[in-house]
Structure 1
Amino acid sequence: MKPRSPRLRLVVAGLLALALVASLVWLAVGLRDRESDQPSAQDDRDKVMLKAREYMLAAFNFDAGDLDANKKLTAYRDRVTPLITTRFKTDFDKATTAVEPAVAQGQSASKATVDRTAVESLSDDTAKVIVGGELTIRLGGGKQPDAVPYAWSISLKNVDGTWLVDDFDEFGSEQAPGQDSGQGATQ
């Protein structure tokens, strides 16, 4: 038997190496495409945390600079309304109308920071996000108050694929019956 030529062995080895590389590339592209088709749970958490942060910064940062020529908080409303559900808009409009005169007289303003967010619960159509930071609210004349820490629980609803704020409350204010503020339930 005649020994095989070294050149043939080199060509076969090269073809096998090329096939291996092509297979690895095909596998990597297939995995990437499959992962990008399905949003991860972390992507969903990131979306609701971002929306809650955006709401806090829009809704709790206002001053006389948001007033229009008619002394209405038009810029403020324009900033917040796209972030909230139609149900929540009714409460928002009442609160905004109530605070407009004080803002117009230079007696009311609010400044908020968001230092942290966490997802308390998340389903396909609802979410609850805890948002914390510092809040400075000036009501009435006088010196500027110091910033105080806050923690809010923000409820969101998924409306046609967009997360919108549906309500908010002080974090921890939802107490079980028989529970005193700041204490555990008695048994």
Structure 2
Amino acid sequence: MSTDAAETGRVDRTDPAPRSAGFRLVLLVVLVVLLLGSAGVLVWLLADRRGEADDLQTQREAVMSQTEQFVLRLNTYGPDDLDDQGHLTGYQQRVDEVITPKFASDFESTGLPIAEQTVKQAGYGRTAEVFGVGVQSIDSDSAVAIVAGGLTGSYPDRRHPDDASKRVAGQEDVLRWEVDLVKTGGAWLVDDYAPVTGAGQ
């Protein structure tokens, strides 16, 4: 009996050690797997957020670029743009490329005829310079931009009536506009604009 007890005691003393080592190995493997999984999730989340930030910056740059193009195209015209029928056809096409169809309808019924009349009757011309553009707000399909620029009008120099290249420029007008854009077919187009005046400046 005592021999058996001694042998049993020997087994009891040595048996927990292998079980403990095996448990520790399994626990280590589980912890490593969890750690790697957590690291993978963290990398994915960071990449996803960075991708969203990059996409937002790309959209902001597209809005600013289109706003700048709108201001330059809308405010750059003159006698050289008149076609054989006395219309600013090329000017109209350039503006239409950066505005929505709804805005194009308004432009063609109001702004365009006024521009054509002043060019034909007085030889008026205008050039524009953009000083800066900023995005005030933006979401997935609409944006508001603020743009500052200078507009300079010019007329034929009456001292040189036979030389159309001789022109007299007026003083530059500095303006700030709030420009509304919508995303249509994957492209940002100007839908409306208004001057920023008074307290808005």
Q: TM-score, normalised by structure 1?
A: 0.68
Structure 1 ranges of 4+ moved more than 6 A = 33-37, 139-142
Q: Which residue of 2 aligns with 1:105?
A: 121
The question of 1:164 aligning with 2:180 is answered no
What fraction of aligned residue pairs are identical, expressed as a percent? 28
Aligned residue pairs total 146
Change (3 A) 1:135 1:83: same
* C-alpha deviation, 1:36, in angstroms: 9.3
* C-alpha deviation, 1:91, in angstroms: 1.5
Q: Which residue of 2 aligns with 1:77?
A: 92
Change (3 A) 1:82 1:42: same
**Counterpart amino acid of residue 146 in structure 1:** Q
Query: Which consecutive residues of structure 1, in runs of 5 or more, have no partner in the other structure?
Result: 1-26, 173-180
Q: TM-score, normalised by structure 2?
A: 0.64
Is the 1:110–1:138 Cα contact (8 Å) retained in structure 2?
Answer: yes
Q: Which residue of 2 aligns with 1:53?
A: 68
Q: Which residue of 2 aligns with 1:7?
A: none
Is the 2:132–2:147 Cα contact (8 Å) retained in structure 1?
Answer: yes
* C-alpha deviation, 1:137, in angstroms: 3.1
* C-alpha deviation, 1:106, in angstroms: 3.7
What is the rounded CA distance, in whole Å, between the counterparts of 1:158 and 1:110 in structure 2? Answer: 29
Q: Which residue of 2 aligns with 1:118?
A: 134
What is the rounded CA distance, in whole Å, between the counterparts of 2:57 and 2:176 in structure 1? Answer: 22
What is the rounded CA distance, in whole Å, between the counterparts of 1:66 and 1:169 in structure 2? Answer: 25
Is the 1:64–1:106 Cα contact (8 Å) retained in structure 2?
Answer: no
Query: Which consecutive residues of structure 2, in runs of 5 or more, have no partner in the other structure?
Result: 1-39, 159-167
The structure that has the greater radius of gyration is: 2
